[in-house]
Amino acid sequence: MSNRHAPVVADIALFAAPFIYLRHGETTSNRDEIIAGSLDVELTDQGRAQAAEAGRRLATLGLSTGPVVTSSRRRARDTAMIVAGALGHIVTDLIVLPDLDERNWGALEGRPRRERRPDALPADL
Protein backbone atom coordinates (compact mmCIF):
# COMPACT_ATOMS: atom_id res chain seq x y z
CA MET A 1 0.00 0.00 0.00
CA SER A 2 1.39 3.38 -0.97
CA ASN A 3 1.33 6.41 1.33
CA ARG A 4 2.13 8.86 -1.44
CA HIS A 5 -1.17 10.73 -0.87
CA ALA A 6 -0.77 10.92 2.90
CA PRO A 7 0.14 14.40 4.14
CA VAL A 8 3.58 14.88 5.58
CA VAL A 9 4.17 17.00 8.66
CA ALA A 10 5.41 19.92 6.51
CA ASP A 11 2.01 19.97 4.72
CA ILE A 12 0.04 20.52 7.93
CA ALA A 13 -0.07 24.22 8.83
CA LEU A 14 -0.43 23.51 12.55
CA PHE A 15 3.00 21.85 12.49
CA ALA A 16 4.79 24.73 10.75
CA ALA A 17 6.16 25.98 14.08
CA PRO A 18 6.76 24.42 17.49
CA PHE A 19 3.62 24.23 19.60
CA ILE A 20 2.34 22.87 22.88
CA TYR A 21 -0.69 20.61 22.84
CA LEU A 22 -2.87 20.86 25.92
CA ARG A 23 -6.09 19.02 26.63
CA HIS A 24 -8.97 20.87 28.26
CA GLY A 25 -9.54 20.87 32.01
CA GLU A 26 -12.12 18.72 33.78
CA THR A 27 -15.64 19.11 32.43
CA THR A 28 -19.03 18.35 33.91
CA SER A 29 -19.13 15.20 31.78
CA ASN A 30 -15.65 14.11 32.96
CA ARG A 31 -16.74 14.60 36.55
CA ASP A 32 -20.02 12.74 36.01
CA GLU A 33 -18.37 10.00 33.87
CA ILE A 34 -20.56 10.78 30.85
CA ILE A 35 -19.47 10.37 27.22
CA ALA A 36 -19.45 13.81 25.64
CA GLY A 37 -17.16 13.80 22.61
CA SER A 38 -19.26 16.14 20.48
CA LEU A 39 -21.40 17.62 23.26
CA ASP A 40 -20.47 21.19 24.16
CA VAL A 41 -20.03 20.76 27.91
CA GLU A 42 -18.58 23.27 30.36
CA LEU A 43 -15.51 23.21 32.54
CA THR A 44 -16.02 22.58 36.23
CA ASP A 45 -14.42 24.82 38.85
CA GLN A 46 -11.75 22.10 39.10
CA GLY A 47 -11.26 22.28 35.31
CA ARG A 48 -10.78 26.05 35.48
CA ALA A 49 -8.26 25.59 38.30
CA GLN A 50 -6.43 22.94 36.24
CA ALA A 51 -6.23 25.33 33.28
CA ALA A 52 -4.88 28.13 35.50
CA GLU A 53 -2.28 25.76 36.97
CA ALA A 54 -1.26 24.62 33.47
CA GLY A 55 -0.81 28.27 32.52
CA ARG A 56 1.35 28.94 35.59
CA ARG A 57 3.52 25.91 34.81
CA LEU A 58 3.83 26.81 31.14
CA ALA A 59 4.80 30.36 32.11
CA THR A 60 7.98 28.96 33.66
CA LEU A 61 9.04 27.83 30.16
CA GLY A 62 9.33 31.41 28.91
CA LEU A 63 6.97 30.91 25.99
CA SER A 64 6.74 33.68 23.45
CA THR A 65 3.41 35.07 22.44
CA GLY A 66 1.72 33.67 19.41
CA PRO A 67 -1.64 32.54 18.18
CA VAL A 68 -3.76 30.33 20.38
CA VAL A 69 -5.36 27.47 18.44
CA THR A 70 -8.30 25.53 19.84
CA SER A 71 -11.14 23.25 18.86
CA SER A 72 -14.62 24.73 18.62
CA ARG A 73 -15.77 23.13 21.87
CA ARG A 74 -16.44 25.54 24.73
CA ARG A 75 -14.31 23.44 27.12
CA ALA A 76 -11.29 23.81 24.83
CA ARG A 77 -11.85 27.52 24.12
CA ASP A 78 -12.30 28.31 27.82
CA THR A 79 -9.19 26.30 28.75
CA ALA A 80 -7.19 28.10 26.05
CA MET A 81 -8.30 31.52 27.26
CA ILE A 82 -7.48 30.72 30.90
CA VAL A 83 -4.04 29.36 30.00
CA ALA A 84 -3.32 32.29 27.70
CA GLY A 85 -4.31 34.71 30.45
CA ALA A 86 -1.97 33.00 32.91
CA LEU A 87 0.80 33.40 30.34
CA GLY A 88 0.07 37.12 30.06
CA HIS A 89 -1.36 36.85 26.55
CA ILE A 90 -4.08 39.19 25.50
CA VAL A 91 -5.80 36.88 23.09
CA THR A 92 -7.10 38.72 20.08
CA ASP A 93 -6.17 36.02 17.60
CA LEU A 94 -7.89 32.89 18.93
CA ILE A 95 -7.91 30.44 16.03
CA VAL A 96 -10.76 27.95 16.16
CA LEU A 97 -10.21 24.75 14.16
CA PRO A 98 -13.25 22.45 14.19
CA ASP A 99 -10.98 19.67 12.88
CA LEU A 100 -9.54 19.54 16.41
CA ASP A 101 -12.96 18.73 17.92
CA GLU A 102 -13.29 15.48 19.79
CA ARG A 103 -15.01 12.66 17.96
CA ASN A 104 -18.74 12.05 17.96
CA TRP A 105 -19.63 8.86 19.84
CA GLY A 106 -23.04 8.49 18.16
CA ALA A 107 -25.67 6.82 20.33
CA LEU A 108 -23.23 6.82 23.24
CA GLU A 109 -23.14 10.62 23.46
CA GLY A 110 -24.55 11.63 26.85
CA ARG A 111 -24.48 8.03 28.12
CA PRO A 112 -22.47 6.71 31.10
CA ARG A 113 -18.83 6.05 30.24
CA ARG A 114 -19.15 2.45 31.47
CA GLU A 115 -21.37 1.69 28.43
CA ARG A 116 -18.49 2.31 26.01
CA ARG A 117 -16.68 -0.84 24.97
CA PRO A 118 -12.99 -0.26 24.22
CA ASP A 119 -13.06 -2.82 21.39
CA ALA A 120 -16.10 -1.55 19.46
CA LEU A 121 -17.77 1.58 18.13
CA PRO A 122 -21.52 2.16 18.46
CA ALA A 123 -23.55 0.61 15.64
CA ASP A 124 -24.64 4.06 14.36
CA LEU A 125 -21.07 5.15 13.54
Name the DSSP class of 27: B
Annotation marks residue 89 as catalytic: no
| Banded model confidence at residue 93, pLDDT cuts 50, 70, 90 | low
Q: How confident is the model at residue 64 (pLDDT cuts 50, 70, 90)?
A: low
- Tell me what percent of the residues of the chain surpass a pLDDT of 70: 80
**Average pLDDT of 58-70?**
79
Q: Which of 5, 24, 26, 42 is catalytic?
A: 24
The residue from 89, 102, 109, 115 that is catalytic is 102
Which domains does the chain possess?
Answer: 25-106 (3.40.50.1240)
- The answer to whether residue 5 is catalytic is no
CA 4 to chain centre: 29
* Cβ atoms of 29 and 52 closer than 8 Å: no
Secondary element (H or E) of residue 29 = helix 28-32
Residue 43 has pLDDT above 90, yes or no: yes
Q: What number of other Cβ atoms are within 10 A of residue 82's Cβ?
A: 22
pLDDT of 79 higher than 70? yes
